[in-house]
């Protein structure tokens, strides 16, 4: 993942992604959105809810994928950023009557700004040390969520968070809200797809592969490191803003440090640095345990075993495995999307 | 010809399956089996399993065997909501659990919308204040227990100042928020207010802080394991002031873990396998025999939850999901009608419970009940 770029690999990447405006990733996103729009029909509220939860977690994982998978910054604060977004949305909509759309935007802005501030240490420290800085931040946010009861409801959380309306259509039903989540996730995923293909995305990847070389090529490493962190955090904020009305209740537990680790696992298991990796990772993290519930009390043990075996078999995650498979079938050398 | 046999076999298998399904009533328990609430949740689950085994051995509810399914919430609101939704989609007759108030808060609207009774183990005061007619407690709420403790501190312990130590989760914070106004009403000064962490191992610093506050008594409101650790730390620091608490300070598990350090501890007990009620003690023995450890109050709560559902169903003489909630609201269940309820229990309109409770003290490693307190509204 952090291997230095070779002379061959960079031109090859640009050759693969340049020819057309539309590529396989975008087509998959469009097809996925269409399928997910209709998927819950006849599925029941439970299935619909799990699909929505999967998409919401995918948004948070997309952000972390940008920070870690593209820019190579190891962050352990993604769940904390998601918490910031969720609490901002919950507080603004329930206590101050702000519309969900404004709260969504403000949650994104807030997490972007905080991500920017937290990104500064990222300029000074690398790898494990950066992880420690974000770990401290994660604990700090969790303590604020739990202890500042006047604002956050403390351990009792915030209940009765309303779901938004869409041009007069109420989204209280599981199916209506699911479709809303599909649309928002699709927009956010396409934005990220565009960003990855833009010069920004190239700069992020260059940062991950070889920061010194990137700097020597004129990439402003300071700005791009900060941007990667801030945009990744903003995606967590957006995910939080969707999570609060989806569950209609929040307390500090889904935003603890262990959840940040879990999000990290989703990035790695899905395939870090692949655009569609977060969806696969979140599918593993959210849908697989639900599906394994038939196994009763053993379900978490089976889940952990599957994840471990998966990572032993394909350290690059499921996306890496698919890519290798595709390369074998088509007889081409694999390249990251 | 062969195909006819196959069709006949398939049909009969289908019919048998259907007949089996008709002979069963499905109950789904959604509870904390992993994450922060796992200890409480496992006790609750075991209590339920014990009740289901008992009821099924005696012929079930109205002739139907109970099919119990447990879903883990991971102590996470999002997962709890999924599990409760799944339980309702699968046609559960009633929802049992969860125990922690966060997961309860995330799932109670779903059971309410589906008009299905949800019997929870949560004790936090706010749960029954939201006008949800389908939510029922299985224990006294903290608002019911704390006035009794404040009166005990004032009249029996004769304390003018109290040090309060609590665990910073929904259980501890809820108890602390409920006791402070009661102490103020009783004219008792809070000398020091100490928050501790769930799962905390070392209580030496907290014990020193409390010792230095030099209060007349110490109110301890921690979960069982933490209570035991605190008692040991307090003994090491030479704290001799009376320690007063609730069910979680005087339980069998605390006495087992704290050893000598538990002697002299006193307080108010709601549900306890040591209470001077033969049915409670009988439950304690059965639980110990089946699971090889002593049940805490959550085991008792889970056990009684199943019997509350059974009683309501037999009372209405049919399986009517909405009817369970309607029958439970405002009802008084007596052990003479339903021995599994263990103690006479009144369910108020908002889902709170009213029961007798006890004042107890730990003497020579045994919980000794010194007085029985009547129901709030006898």
pLDDT tens digits, A265-295: 999 999 998 999 999 999 999 999 999 988 8
Within-domain flag for A320: no
Residues in chain A with CB shorter than 8 Å from the CB of B81 are 49, 247-249
In whole angstroms, what is the distance from residue B204 CA to residue B191 CA?
18
Number of domains chain A contains: 1
Cross-strand partners of B119: B96, B136
In a domain, A237, yes or no: yes
Report the share of chain A in percent with pLDDT over 90: 59
pLDDT of residue B4: 59
- A20 pLDDT band, cuts 50/70/90, is low
Residue A77 lies in a domain: yes
- Quickly state the pLDDT bin for A10 (edges 50, 70, 90): very low
Digit-coded pLDDT (tens) for A310-332: 989 888 899 988 888 888 888 76
Is residue A322 situated within a structural domain? no
State the helix-helix crossing angle for B170-185 and B101-113, rounded to 10 degrees: 100
Q: Does A297 touch chain B (CB under 8 A)?
A: yes
For B7-140+279-347, CATH number out of 3.40.50.460, 3.60.9.10, 3.40.50.2300, 1.20.1440.230 equals 3.40.50.2300
Is B85 touching A (CB cutoff 8 A)? yes
ipTM for this model: 0.84
Whether A215 has a pLDDT exceeding 80, the answer reads yes
User: Which ranges of chain B have pLDDT less than 50?
Assistant: 1, 13-20
What is the pLDDT of chain A when averaged over all its residues? 88
> Helix/strand/coil (H, E, C) string of chain A?
CCCCCCCCHHHHHHHHHCCCCCCHHHHHHHHHHHHHHHCCCCCHHHHHHHHHHHHHHHHHHHHHHHHHHHCCCCCCCHHHHHHHHHHHHHHHHHHCCCCHHHHHHHHHHHHHHHHHHHHHHHHHCCHHHHHHHHHHHHHHHHHHHHHCHHHHCHHHCEECCCCCEECCEECCCHHHHHHHHHHHHHHHHHHHHHHHHCHHHHHHHHHHHCHHHHHHCCCCHHHHHHHHHHHHHHHHHHHHHHHHHHHCEECCHHHCHHHHHHHHHHHHHHCCCCCCHHHHHHHHHHHHHHHHHHHHHHHHHHHHHHHHHHHHHCCCHHHHHHHHHHHHHHCCCCCCC
The reply to whether A291 falls in a domain is no
What local confidence, expressed as pLDDT, does residue B5 receive?
56
Query: Once rounded to an integer, what is the mean pLDDT over residues A2-30?
Result: 58
The string of pLDDT tens digits covering residues B281-317 is 999 999 999 999 888 889 999 999 999 999 999 999 9
Q: What is the greatest pairwise CA distance in chain A?
A: 61
- Helix/strand/coil for B36: coil
CB contact under 8 A, B102 and A300: no
- Mean pLDDT, rounded, for A125-135: 85
Q: What is the pLDDT of residue B48?
A: 97
The answer to whether the Cβ–Cβ distance between B102 and A159 falls below 8 Å is no
CATH number of this structure's domain B142-269+357-373, picked from the four choices 3.30.499.10, 3.40.50.2300, 3.40.30.10, 3.30.420.40: 3.40.50.2300
Same fold? B7-140+279-347, B142-269+357-373: yes
* Cβ-based contacts under 8 A for chains A and B: 86
Given CB atoms, is A253 within the 8 Å cutoff of chain B? yes
- Residue A107 pLDDT: 98
With an 8 Å Cβ cutoff, is A300 touching chain B? yes
Looking at the complex, does the CB of residue A155 fall below 8 Å from at least one CB of chain B?
yes
pLDDT of residue B50: 97
Report pLDDT for B8.
53
Q: Minimal Cα distance from A242: which residue of B?
A: B78
Question: What torsion, rounded to 10 degrees, do the Cα atoms A34, A40, A45, A46 define?
Answer: -100
pLDDT at B39: 84
Q: Is residue A71 part of a domain?
A: yes
Interval A166-195: pLDDT, tens: 888 888 888 999 999 999 999 999 999 999
Q: Is residue A115 part of a domain?
A: yes
pLDDT digits (tens, 9 = 90+) for A100-123: 999 999 999 999 999 999 888 777
pLDDT tens-digit readout, B64-100: 999 999 999 998 999 999 999 999 999 999 999 999 8
Q: What is the pLDDT of residue B256?
A: 87
Inspect the interface and report whether the beta carbons of A253 and B106 lie closer than 8 Å.
no
Residue A96 lies in domain: 23-256
Residue A266 counted as domain residue: no
């Amino acid at each position: 993942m952090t291997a230095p770029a070779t002379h061959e690999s960079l031109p090859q990447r640009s050759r693969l992604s340049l020819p057309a405006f539309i590529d396989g990733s975008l087509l998959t996103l469009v097809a996925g959105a269409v399928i997910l729009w209709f998927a819950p029909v006849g599925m029941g509220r439970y299935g619909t809810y799990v699909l929505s939860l999967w998409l919401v977690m995918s948004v948070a994982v997309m952000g972390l994928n940008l920070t870690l998978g593209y820019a190579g910054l190891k962050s352990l604060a993604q769940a904390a950023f998601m918490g910031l977004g969720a609490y901002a949305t919950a507080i603004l909509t329930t206590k101050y009557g702000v519309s969900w759309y404004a709260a969504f935007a403000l949650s994104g802005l807030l997490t972007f700004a905080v991500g920017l501030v937290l990104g500064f240490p990222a300029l000074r420290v690398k790898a494990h040390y950066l992880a420690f800085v974000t770990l401290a931040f994660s604990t700090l946010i969790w303590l604020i969520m739990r202890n500042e009861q006047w604002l956050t409801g403390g351990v009792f959380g915030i209940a009765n968070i309303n779901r938004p309306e869409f041009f007069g259509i109420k989204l209280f039903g599981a199916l209506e809200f699911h479709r809303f989540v599909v649309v928002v996730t699709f927009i956010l995923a396409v934005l990220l797809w565009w960003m990855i293909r833009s010069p920004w995305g190239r700069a992020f990847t260059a940062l991950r592969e070889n920061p010194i070389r990137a700097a020597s090529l004129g990439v402003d490493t300071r700005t791009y490191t900060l941007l990667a962190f801030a945009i990744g955090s903003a995606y967590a904020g957006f995910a939080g803003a969707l999570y609060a009305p989806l569950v209609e209740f929040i307390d500090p537990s889904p935003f603890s440090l262990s959840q940040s680790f879990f999000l990290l696992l989703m990035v790695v298991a899905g395939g870090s640095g692949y655009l569609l990796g977060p969806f696969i990772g979140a599918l593993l993290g959210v849908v697989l345990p639900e599906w394994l519930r038939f196994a009763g009390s053993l379900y978490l043990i089976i889940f952990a075993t599957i994840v471990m075996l998966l990572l032993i078999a394909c350290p690059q995650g499921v996306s890496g495995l698919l890519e290798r498979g595709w390369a074998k079938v088509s007889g081409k050398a694999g390249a990251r999307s | 010809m062969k195909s006819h046999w196959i069709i006949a076999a398939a049909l009969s298998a289908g019919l048998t399956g259907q007949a089996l399904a008709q002979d069963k009533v499905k109950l789904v328990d959604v509870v904390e089996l992993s994450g922060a609430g796992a200890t409480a949740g496992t006790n609750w689950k075991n209590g339920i399993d014990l009740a289901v085994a008992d009821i099924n051995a005696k012929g079930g509810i109205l002739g139907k065997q109970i099919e119990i399914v447990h879903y883990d919430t991971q102590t996470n609101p999002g997962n709890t909501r999924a599990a409760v939704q799944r339980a309702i989609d699968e046609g559960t007759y009633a929802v049992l659990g969860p125990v922690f108030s966060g997961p309860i808060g995330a799932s109670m609207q779903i059971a309410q919308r589906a008009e299905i009774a949800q019997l929870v183990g949560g004790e936090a005061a706010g749960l029954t204040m939201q006008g949800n007619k389908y939510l029922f407690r299985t224990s006294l709420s903290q608002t019911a227990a704390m006035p009794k403790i404040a009166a005990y501190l004032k009249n029996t312990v004769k304390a003018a100042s109290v040090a309060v130590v609590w665990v910073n989760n929904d259980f501890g914070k809820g108890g602390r928020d409920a006791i402070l106004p009661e102490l103020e009403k009783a004219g008792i000064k809070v000398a020091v207010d100490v928050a501790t962490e769930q799962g905390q191992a070392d209580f030496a610093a907290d014990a020193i802080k409390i010792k230095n506050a030099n209060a007349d008594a110490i109110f301890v409101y921690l979960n069982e394991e933490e209570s035991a650790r605190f008692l040991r730390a307090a003994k090491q620091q030479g704290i001799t002031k009376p320690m007063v608490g609730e069910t979680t300070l005087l339980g069998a598990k605390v006495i087992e873990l704290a050893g000598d350090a538990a002697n002299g501890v006193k307080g108010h007990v709601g549900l306890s396998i040591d209470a001077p009620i033969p049915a409670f003690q009988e439950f304690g023995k059965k639980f110990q025999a089946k699971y090889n450890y002593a049940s805490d109050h959550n085991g008792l709560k889970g056990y009684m939850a199943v019997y509350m559902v059974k009683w309501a169903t037999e009372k209405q003489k049919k399986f009517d999901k909405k009817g369970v909630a309607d029958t439970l609201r405002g009802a008084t269940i007596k052990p003479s009608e339903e021995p599994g309820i263990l103690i006479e229990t009144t369910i108020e309109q908002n889902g709170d419970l009213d029961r007798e409770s006890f004042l107890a003290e730990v003497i020579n490693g045994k919980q000794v009940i010194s007085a029985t307190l009547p129901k709030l509204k006898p």
